[in-house]
Amino acid sequence: MEVVMQMMYSYSLELLAAAVGLMLLLELVTLRKINKWKKKEKEQFFELEEKLSRISEKQNETAREITQQAQDDKMAQKSGENPEKEAPEKLIDAVLTEVFS
């Protein structure tokens, strides 16, 4: 009977060791997946940062164009011409183009 108890104890230790090994393996796999997700999120964040930077550049460029157009309009009014006012449409087009590109 004592031999049977020792064998059962030995098997239970082996099962416990196997269970611990499986738990560690599962944790490693989970950590690896989490690291992949973090890496993907960082990449997406940098892509969004770049897109926002391009939108900001376009916005600044369009603002300069609008300012220049306003100055040109003032000069044209002084000379009696009737200039077209399309600067706000340019800003909207530039932002929409950048957002959906």
In tens, the pLDDT along 78-98 reads 776 544 555 677 778 888 888
Average pLDDT, the chain: 86
The token pair at 13 is 């230790």
Q: What is the pTM of this model?
A: 0.48
In tens, the pLDDT along 17-39 reads 999 999 999 999 999 999 999 99
Closest CA to 97 of 49, 47, 62: 62
Total count of domains within the chain: 1
| pLDDT tier for residue 44 given thresholds of 50, 70 and 90 | very high
Q: Which residue range(s) make up the domain with 28? A: 2-99
